[in-house]
A and B are shown apart, each in its own frame.
Chain A
């Protein structure tokens, strides 16, 4: 991930200096005006900013570097026995570690209040188009993942027997995005099973967690930020006012505040530190972001850049820019799912009136982009979803390409759509990579 972020910074600098190139600016000149760049990811964020270091002669210098990854973390302390640290993420996944009733505990999972197990597809068949060369035909066949040759570790011959047409070269019951090339047909059900177990555990063990117990660096946040000075039980999960999947719930609002102040405090520190070490007379400060912009930061993968202190006449330029990524494999937001229906050559949003039929499946919008398998570099891209003639499915012109004139239908009342939506969301979340997947579940 660090390499990707570094590459993004490099591209940003390149295009910024190119677009300002006429003024004779070059990258090294330009960078003095950029006190920080922020990258928010699924469970934490990076800050790229100058840091005080010593050069080879022992002089103090400020050097730009990507600071260590910060998680969206906050600590809740009731007393010495109940003292936990919670990592939030952009969605309803949390990681918990710390002392509960005097026992050290590590646990992680999704929080849900609605058990939709009966509403989702119990066992899914997923058809995808994969390039012929990479189709593993049996359990021991070698195939390429990236540039590495591996044996398919999760290949289940029974599964292929049951659903697959092994002699069909074009479609395969495989999911080529994951390194494991395999998707559990019961993902959606398992998501809710695991989530329910975890939610039950959280509601019984963390019922004491209150918004006003939040602390960072051994200081209660309620003393410095009024949003935390409220009496709210964060993990009192219910379908009424605290559905973790609903962005207006107590949990989600609290989470947004945690993310916001974690980023704000660290960014403030980075920019102020830069200001002190900068040779420029300009006083670098973190600008105030709108509430709306913080909401975007706390609900998407974002890049936030600042540019300050550029002399323009007798004044200084001071600006920032926020862009978000809605199409990536780190995070699936409820808005980023596209749906296909059998016999239809277009893919749609869930509320499109042209999405019809009983056999609807949803996938992350990332999957509809053209892919290149790395077998050959000169080959044409392939698409994961194709029609009966092998042509790629196209984006619906009514809902995706041009969303104007668009009259959405209430999809929650249509059984097939509701099922497809919750199945897709649960499956995509179940498959999502999380760095804390392998933490030990530990209750004594």
Chain B
């Protein structure tokens, strides 16, 4: 009886060692590769926008395609900060007539996507900044396996993520 229990434990342990760990290791590597691809795609996208001064639907579609080619689903967040050079009055009580610094106001993914949908491009100007943040929304195999074994799960955990941002260098037209 005791012998067969130990045998079963040994078989389970052997199964974990022989199958699960390699599988976890492989899936982790897989995520690393996806991470690299996503980071590269994000950097390329931002650099392209910086050098051309516009977000086009071709660019954006290309980014989405490159992302989905990694086999995961992603949430893409874009933020464009528009430079408003008009002098703002600083609203402090002591110096109400003091002229303030440059201001930025932000435009986000949904607004940009709407514009891309209607006119195919979103124009930026010199001095604006663009930033992108990409996260996976599905659970990759590595995440699932990890959750199964050490159950460190939460609703917001992500495995593959990339951020990049930069200042736009030319006026888009």
A380 to B95, alpha carbons, bound, how many Å? 12
Give B52's nearest chain A residue, CB to CB: A292
Give A346's nearest chain B residue, CB to CB: B86
Contact A403 B169 (CB under 8 A): no
- A395-422 CB contacts (< 8 Å) to partner B: 395, 400-406
B113 within 8 A of A: no
What are 12 of the A-B contact pairs (CB < 8 Å)? Answer: A324-B170, A335-B171, A370-B87, A395-B84, A395-B86, A403-B123, A403-B124, A404-B122, A404-B123, A404-B124, A405-B115, A406-B123
List the 6 shortest-distance A-B pairs measured between CB atoms, nearest first.
A394-B86, A404-B123, A403-B123, A401-B84, A395-B86, A403-B125
Contact A403 B172 (CB under 8 A): yes
Give A406's nearest chain B residue, CB to CB: B123
B99 within 8 A of A: yes
Give B118's nearest chain A residue, CB to CB: A405
Contact A370 B169 (CB under 8 A): no
A326 within 8 A of B: yes
A405 to B111, alpha carbons, bound, how many Å? 12
A323 within 8 A of B: yes
A381 within 8 A of B: yes
- A173-189 CB contacts (< 8 Å) to partner B: none
Contact A392 B123 (CB under 8 A): no
B57–chain A nearest beta-carbon distance, Å: 14
Contact A401 B126 (CB under 8 A): no
List chain B residues, Cβ under 8 A from A383: 87
Contact A370 B86 (CB under 8 A): no
A141 to B85, alpha carbons, bound, how many Å? 36
Query: Which residues of B pack against A, CB within 8 Å?
Result: 82-87, 97-99, 115, 122-126, 169-173
List chain A residues, Cβ under 8 A from B98: 380
List chain B residues, Cβ under 8 A from A370: 87, 99
- A361-403 CB contacts (< 8 Å) to partner B: 370, 380-381, 383, 392, 394-395, 400-403
A405 to B123, alpha carbons, bound, how many Å? 8
- Bitwise, A114-125 to B at CB < 8 A (1) or not (0) is 000000000000
Give A336's nearest chain B residue, CB to CB: B171
In the complex, which of the residues A323, A381, A403 contacts B171, with contact meaning CB atoms closer than 8 Å? A403
A391–chain B nearest beta-carbon distance, Å: 9
Contact B82 A395 (CB under 8 A): no
A323 to B166, alpha carbons, bound, how many Å? 13
Contacts A324-B170, A404-B123 known; 12 new A-B pairs at CB < 8 A: A323-B169, A380-B97, A381-B99, A392-B87, A394-B86, A395-B84, A401-B82, A401-B84, A401-B125, A402-B82, A403-B173, A406-B123
B26–chain A nearest beta-carbon distance, Å: 23
A394 to B87, alpha carbons, bound, how many Å? 8
- A18-40 CB contacts (< 8 Å) to partner B: none
- With contacts A380-B99, A381-B99 known, is A401 near B85, CB below 8 A? yes
- Bitwise, A298-335 to B at CB < 8 A (1) or not (0) is 00000000000000000000000001101000000001
List chain A residues, Cβ under 8 A from B173: 403
List chain A residues, Cβ under 8 A from B82: 401-402
List chain A residues, Cβ under 8 A from B87: 370, 383, 392, 394
A394 to B84, alpha carbons, bound, how many Å? 10
List chain B residues, Cβ under 8 A from A402: 82, 125
List chain B residues, Cβ under 8 A from A335: 171
A39 to B16, alpha carbons, bound, how many Å? 62
List chain B residues, Cβ under 8 A from A324: 169-170
A114 to B169, alpha carbons, bound, how many Å? 32
A324 to B124, alpha carbons, bound, how many Å? 16
Contact B126 A326 (CB under 8 A): yes
A405 to B173, alpha carbons, bound, how many Å? 11
List chain A residues, Cβ under 8 A from B123: 403-404, 406
A323 to B50, alpha carbons, bound, how many Å? 11
Give A322's nearest chain B residue, CB to CB: B169
B148–chain A nearest beta-carbon distance, Å: 34
A127–chain B nearest beta-carbon distance, Å: 20
List chain B residues, Cβ under 8 A from A392: 87
A304–chain B nearest beta-carbon distance, Å: 12
Give A403's nearest chain B residue, CB to CB: B123
A51 to B166, alpha carbons, bound, how many Å? 33
A406 to B53, alpha carbons, bound, how many Å? 14
A112–chain B nearest beta-carbon distance, Å: 25
B99–chain A nearest beta-carbon distance, Å: 6
Give B126's nearest chain A residue, CB to CB: A326
Give B173's nearest chain A residue, CB to CB: A403
Give B87's nearest chain A residue, CB to CB: A392
List chain A residues, Cβ under 8 A from B126: 326
B171–chain A nearest beta-carbon distance, Å: 7
Contact B99 A404 (CB under 8 A): no
A405 to B115, alpha carbons, bound, how many Å? 8
A395 to B97, alpha carbons, bound, how many Å? 19
Give A326's nearest chain B residue, CB to CB: B126
